[in-house]
Amino acid sequence: MNRLLKILQDGHFHSGQKLGAALGISRSAVWKHLQRLEASLGIQLYKVPGRGYRLAESISLLDENGSAESLKQLGWAVKVLDSTDSTNAEALRMLHAGVQAPFVVLAEAQTSGRGRRGRAWVSPPAQNLYYTLALTISGGAQRLSGLSLVVGLAVMRALRQMGVEQAGVKWPNDIYVDGKKIAGILMELSGDPADLCHVLIGIGVNVNMTSSAVGIEQAWTSMRNETLALVDRNELVRVVSHSLHHYLERHAEEGFSGLRAEWEACNIWRGRYCCLSSGSQHAKGLVLGVDDQGALRLSVNGQEKRFSGGELSLRLEDDS
């Protein structure tokens, strides 16, 4: 991210003279950089004669060196970008370029962030977590069974560890707090799922957003809204990564069946009436839970039916 923004991230006043000295540029050049910063990132700046410049509120920028040191313990490399179209897309380009998995891609901002079912993922700069873990998986489709639910469980545990105690999972892999979405997961495959393939685990977490975000069409919250404090995004990267590593190892050893009971204990919509949709197809019923493969168990007109697939959408029946 811009060197100027790194200096200003503490939310304190910095004089134009000191900023210029730190960056090796004139005070007029500092002013031009600040204008570009506001225009390109939409970040509000306060300008007070005699005191200098400061951000309207402090922010937490990603630290590539710190993340590299933390993820090195897991055997994962990391790449941090100022901006990209999406971290999943960047990870796929890296795989095609011969970069060996496992590795993590992080970005301060996304210009074309994506959620499930082709929906846009709103990605304002320097506020949230945009994270993709690229893995190589062999052994066929059995290794992928229930994997997206396990990832959701890992992210939920990380959020609870960071102080969001009411976080829970919603099938298949969203994380909610009191009816509001706080995080989502987009998993994509490259290669042959029946043999050797790459899995891209894309994670988006609303971290330090506090005001309205244009383009979000559902109730949402953020870690900052829930904890009432600025969240250190580098600490979040560390906690999410270690939680993912732990649960991915358990999934590889036990399969989803070994984690099913824990997932069910955190299932916020169990016992609720919901509507399941896929294109023009709809089913309404009572959520019973999930099976050993992670498929949704739904009671429809008194009969249990099971559903699985990445294009399915689950909503509460009374959700307008």
Q: What residues act catalytically?
A: 116, 181, 315
Would you say 88 is a known binding-site residue? Answer: yes
Would you say 100 is a known binding-site residue? Answer: no
Angle of the 16-23 helix axis to the 27-41 helix axis, nearest 10 = 90
Would you say 87 is a known binding-site residue? Answer: yes
Q: Residues 6 or more apart from 109 whose CB is under 8 A from it? A: 41, 82, 83, 84, 123, 124, 125, 126, 130
Would you say 306 is a known binding-site residue? Answer: no
d(CA 247, CA 157): 10
Would you say 181 is a known binding-site residue? Answer: yes
298 near 283, Cβ under 8 Å?
A: yes
Amino acid at 187: M
d(CA 119, CA 122): 9
User: Of the candidates 128, 58, 146, 59, which has an alpha carbon nearest to the alpha carbon of residue 87?
Assistant: 128
The three-state secondary structure class of 127 is: coil
Would you say 284 is a known binding-site residue? Answer: no
d(CA 98, CA 249): 25
Q: Token digits for 199?
A: 């899995």
168 near 182, Cβ under 8 Å?
A: no
Would you say 132 is a known binding-site residue? Answer: no
User: Would you list which residues are annotated within the binding site for biotin?
Assistant: 86-88, 110, 114-116, 181
